[in-house]
Amino acid sequence: MAPGRVLVVGAGLGGIATALRLAVRGHSVTLLERGERIGGKMNRWQQDGYTFDTGPSLITMPDVFAELFSLAGADIHRQLQLRRLDPVASYRFADGSSFRYGQSLPLLQAELQREFPYDIEGFHRLMALGGRLFELSRRTFFADAPGEPPDPSMAGALKFMPLRHGWGNYDATVRSFVRDERLISFFGRYATYVGSSPYQAPATLLAIPYLEYAHGAWYFQGGLYSLVEALHALLLQHGVEIRCGASVSRIIQRNGGVAAVSLEDGMELDGDIVIFNGDSARLPMLLGESESPTEDRRSMSGFVMLLGIDGKLPTQPHHSVYFSDNYSLEFDQLSGITNGGPSFPDDPTVYVNMPSASDNTLASPDCESLFIMANCPADDDWNEEKTQRARRLVLQRLQRSGFPDITDRIRVEQLWTPACISSAYDMPGGAIYGQDSHGWRNTFLRPANRHRRVRGLYRVGGSSHPGGGTPTVLLSAAIVDRLVERYEGA
């Protein structure tokens, strides 16, 4: 069968990567994006000399990115300046102590000895468990879609299966290795990387801190949107037609398979294969099966402050985290165990990304660009009162943790609420990762990449298998590429 015409709905990182892979394979590909430019949540905002990445702020597994470029005949190191961040981040705890998490093993050992002398062995044993879980996932979960015939080579992955631990609750497993509440909070933070609570997520997510520990945290000079710009050039080079401002209103079916998509302006585009790179909760609406998004347990959203400030912050690192006084209470409020329903916490843990500490292209001289974020529940119902309360609580936490007072130095400000995220990216509640990763079912049985009923329809991206995170989304694209080859004969 000759390569068919492919319509990719959504130009997030997963849609971009899938479009590029299929174009390289010889398909005619059209990439449809409802927004003004491609990138999805990996995007950029600029004002008055300040530049902000509005989504991911670092990457792991750089080899996955390099492989995509190589497939398209390019060398990522010639296209982009990739920098390893060291330290990865500075963590400030409620008692005023801090932990500088670096990549140099001798320096890391010294830092662990300084702050957590009784948990050094437990720290490394926990990372080793994460390594086994990662290798098991890499050879199985990340290698193919659920429900597909297993590759016989996967049998070798069984040697990485942990005999103990790894199969229970995330927080409980961490506590079985380390005792210091500060270090427990440090590990708990990684569950939020996929929009989940460490108190409800499975221990298999310990593969996430291992990835940073073993493979490093990386940054593209010029901001992470420079990756999207480089991929945009490769898409054009391989003949992909890119249409921005093209909002898809319906996926049209004939004889049990996809036939076309209809745009909101009434135009129809024929296609043999449709790749959906959006929130899986929206797909039934596009198929005409539902008038509202499907109900699922939504991942957390975020409250984001983009601040351009006057003056330098010379002591601030590229990445820093400021923990709340009571981490478990914070997640009780986020999940709705207290307060009668999910709510923005009274004392949020705050993440600060200041890329201008490493990259002088993102702010004017003697200025800084700050991306500040706190977790919050997925919720479309945000008003100005909620927004200003969240802003006040975030700044209060920073000041209580010793962050410099920047209140009178703010020159540029943009606030993103879950409602903003929902509207910008068509994600119900602003849930950044689609469904949460609480429990085994939601973690390992995410929406399948190949639609079980509609022939020629595929899902890619963070809300489908194998889940969220920039490298994981690229693995999702690789899986869809193989499925198209397997089932569409091209």
pLDDT in tens, 34-57: 999 999 999 999 999 999 999 999
* CA atoms lying within 13 Å on the CB side of residue 380: 10
Which residues, 6 or more positions from 392, have their beta carbon under 8 angstroms from its beta carbon? none
Q: Which of 88-97, 139-148, 334-343, 468-477 has the highest mean pLDDT?
A: 88-97
Choose among 31, 99, 56: nearest CA to 304. 56
The values of phi and psi at residue 97, to 5°, are -75, 165
What mean pLDDT do residues 15-37 have? 97
pLDDT of residue 211 exceeding 80, the answer is yes
pLDDT in tens, 104-114: 888 999 999 99
Cα(438)–Cα(447) distance, integer angstroms: 15
Average per-residue pLDDT for the chain: 89
Choose among 217, 270, 267, 203: nearest CA to 58. 217
Strand (E) or helix (H) holding 304: strand 301-310
| pLDDT value, residue 80 | 97
pTM (predicted TM-score): 0.92
pLDDT in tens, 262-271: 999 999 999 9
Q: Given pLDDT bands bounded at 50, 70 and 90, which one contains residue 330?
A: very high
What mean pLDDT do residues 214-228 have? 95
Percent of the chain's residues with pLDDT above 70: 89
What mean pLDDT do residues 124-153 have? 72
What mean pLDDT do residues 11-25 have? 97
Q: Given pLDDT bands bounded at 50, 70 and 90, which one contains residue 434?
A: low
pLDDT in tens, 235-257: 999 999 999 999 999 999 999 99
What mean pLDDT do residues 126-148 have? 75
**Domains of the chain in sequence order:** 5-43+63-76+222-295+435-488 (3.50.50.60), 104-215 (no CATH), 300-428 (no CATH)
pLDDT in tens, 178-210: 999 999 999 999 999 888 899 998 898 999 999
Least confident of 41-45, 65-69, 239-243, 377-381: 377-381
Cα(395)–Cα(303) distance, integer angstroms: 12
pLDDT of residue 227 exceeding 50, the answer is yes
Which residues, 6 or more positions from 6, have their beta carbon under 8 angstroms from its beta carbon? 19, 22, 27, 28, 29, 30, 271, 272, 273, 274, 275, 484
Q: Given pLDDT bands bounded at 50, 70 and 90, which one contains residue 147?
A: low
C-beta of residue 187 within 8 angstroms of C-beta of residue 213: no
